[in-house]
Amino acid sequence: METPIRSRETLSLTLFSLLFFICKSSPLHHLLISNAERRIDLSSHIVKVYLTLKIENAGSTPASEVLLAFPPAQVDHLATVEALATKGKRKKTTLVHLEVKPTELPDAPNDAKYFTIYLASPLNSGESTTLEVLYMLTHSLEPFPAEIAQSESQLVFYRDNALILLPYHVRQQTTFIKTPSNKVESFTRVEPTNRAGTEIKYGPYEDRPPYSFSPILVHFENNSPFAVVEELVREVEISHWGNLQVTEQYTLVHAGARHKGVFSRVDYQSRPSLNGVSSFRYLLARLPPRVHSVYYRDEIGNISSSHLRTDSRKSELEIEPRYPLFGGWKATFVIGYGLPLQDFLFESSNDKRYLNFTFGCPLLETVVDKLTFKVVLPEGSKDPSAVVPFPVEQHLETKYSYLDVVGRTVVVLEKKNVVPVHNTHFQVYYTFKPIFMLAEPMMLASAFFLFFVACVAYLHIDLSIRK
């Protein structure tokens, strides 16, 4: 096992250094990183990486863009990349969000993928600035052994680079890896490497060329719930009579090491600390405040185990699937609730209305592989448009609900690989004439009126016949 890794390591190292010499002529190299620090948090199943880069412009022309590089395997699991710039002098620093966009470069070495950070103000030659980059990876912890019994705890692999993959020369860099517990089975050493408690430190490494790569493997215990929602469909239905009905359909799976062999209830009940440590029974959903008529059910009926706690700022719904979820076990369910409309629907200046709602998944610490967000606008609304702070796929649908004649316009937003960071607000704008609100009551009223008229007519005709 060890030898092939070593050989691959050296091979890739040489490859990258070769590539570096080839790409030397590219326009990127006039930037250099004077100091880089990376902190990798492995305590849950979402890998969070905090990168602090101190960038110097060594070239002669001002630079306004900074590139980040990722190996192709990591890009598929990349849920979000955010960049922050520190502004101002000491103590009075403020953080500014910078725009980050995926970029294609023609001569990327080893299919590396790039993200471009657009600096707020161009970096003149000789100046330096500090960037904070946060990115998250999902499905990046590989359970090993892949199948465990009820009494075993879950061990996972994490693969990464001991050095920070950057298309720039890095003068000094350090990487810290935080594991959830002291139990670390093994980790690759790239000297200087040392481990203290729950932290493994790689580095500091001095003067590394661009695209330096040195694969590492950390094998450690992680019993945090690997709650993954394979598919989530959130539907928000707007009723201008004052209610917002939210329906969320979940396909939840435990994405950790698969459960093997028996499930013994007597062990699970009597020795909870030793049994099924990687399984989970509860999940917490954070819902907006003033939520009402909450329900929690699945295809075969109501699930009677859930608790709702509400206060003025938030509502917490503790849901318990029908059975504890062990590795590989699935559960599908639906959560629904109503919300007061005035908290979420506003009028914009140009005679339009907009819904302001959070994207993302209300369950804490979960990954959503595919999220479909449907905003059902009231019947008769026109010109829908959605404003979402990150790229999503959009299209329109039509839905028929109670007493609909022409159907309701549905704005469908789809996004893959959603993590809790995506719980930000987005807006859906549309125009709606309040007169349409009266259509359905009028229909009902006229139907009843006609019915009674028919009854009266029938009675009178009936009597006249008998006379």
Partner 1 sequence: MSNTAGSDLLKTFKLKTKQQELLIRVSILCLVYILAFITRLFSVLRYESMIHEFDPYFNYRTTLYLTQNGFYDFWNWFDSESWYPLGRIIGGTLYPGLMVTAALIYRLLHFLRFAVHIREVCVLTAPFFASNTTLVAYFFGKEIWDSGAGLVAAILIAVCPGYISRSVAGSYDNEGVAIFALLFTFYLFVKAVNTGSLAWGLASAFGYFYMVSAWGGYVFIINLIPLYVLVLLITGRYSMRLYVAYNCMYVLGMLLAMQIRFVGFQHVQSGEHMAAMGVFFLMQVFYFLDWVKHMLSDTKLFQAFLRITVTCAVAVGGVALGVGTVSGYISPWTGRFYSLLDPTYAKDHIPIIASVSEHQPTAWSSFMFDFHILLFLFPAGVYFCFKRLSDATMFIVMYGLTSLYFAGVMVRLILVATPAVCLISAIAVSATVKNLTVLLRSKNKVVQTGSTKGTSSAKASSKASLDQSQPFQKNGAMALLFGAFYLLSKYATHCTWVTSEAYSSPSIVLAARGAHGNRVIFDDYREAYFWLRQNTPPDAKVMSWWDYGYQITAMGNRTVIVDNNTWNNTHIATVGRAMSSYEDEAYEIMRSLDVDYVLVVFGGVTGYSSDDINKFLWMVRIGGGVFPVIKEPDYLVNGEYRVDKGAAPKMLNCLMYKLCYYRFGELVTEYGKPPGYDRARGVEIGNKDIKLEHLEEAFTTSNWIVRIYKVKPPNNRW
Residues forming contacts to partner 1 in the complex (CB under 8 A) are 261-266, 269-270, 298-305, 322-323, 328-332, 400-405, 459, 463
Whether cis (ω within 30° of 0) applies to the bond prior to 192 is yes
Least distance (Å) between residue 184 CB and partner 1:
31
Least distance (Å) between residue 405 CB and partner 1:
7
Least distance (Å) between residue 403 CB and partner 1:
5
CA angle (79, 84, 89) in 5-degree steps:
165
Residue with tokens 């691959």: 8
Q: Which is nearer to partner 1, 324 or 340 (CB)?
A: 324
Least distance (Å) between residue 225 CB and partner 1:
17
- Rounded to 5 degrees, what are φ and ψ at 236? -115, 120
Least distance (Å) between residue 287 CB and partner 1:
21
Q: Which is nearer to partner 1, 302 or 356 (CB)?
A: 302
Q: Which is nearer to partner 1, 56 or 379 (CB)?
A: 379
Q: Which is nearer to partner 1, 208 or 259 (CB)?
A: 259
Cβ atoms of 125 and 59 within 8 Å: the answer is yes
Q: Which is nearer to partner 1, 50 or 329 (CB)?
A: 329
Helix (H/G/I), strand (E/B), else coil: 341: helix
Least distance (Å) between residue 256 CB and partner 1:
15
Tokens coding 401: 């609900």
Least distance (Å) between residue 414 CB and partner 1:
23
Residues 6+ apart with CB under 8 A from 354: 345, 346, 347, 348, 427, 428, 429, 430
Cβ atoms of 279 and 153 within 8 Å: the answer is no
Tokens coding 169: 């020369």
Least distance (Å) between residue 408 CB and partner 1:
11
Cβ atoms of 292 and 244 within 8 Å: the answer is no
Q: Which is nearer to partner 1, 53 or 410 (CB)?
A: 410
Q: What is the dihedral of CA 139, 140, 144, 146, to 10 degrees?
A: 20
Q: Which is nearer to partner 1, 298 or 414 (CB)?
A: 298
Least distance (Å) between residue 241 CB and partner 1:
17
Q: Which is nearer to partner 1, 176 or 263 (CB)?
A: 263
Query: How many beta carbons lie within 10 A of that of residue 15, not counting itself?
Result: 14
Helix (H/G/I), strand (E/B), else coil: 261: coil
Query: How many beta carbons lie within 10 A of that of residue 261, not counting itself?
Result: 10
Tokens coding 390: 């990150």
State the maximum Cα–Cα separation within the chain, in Å, rounded to a whole number. 111
What is the C-alpha to C-alpha distance for residues 332 and 110, in angstroms, rounded to an integer?
40
Least distance (Å) between residue 326 CB and partner 1:
9
Cβ atoms of 239 and 205 within 8 Å: the answer is no
Tokens coding 71: 């190996």
Cβ atoms of 317 and 287 within 8 Å: the answer is yes
Q: Which is nearer to partner 1, 164 or 376 (CB)?
A: 376
Q: Which is nearer to partner 1, 91 or 467 (CB)?
A: 467
- Rounded to 5 degrees, what are φ and ψ at 111? 60, 30
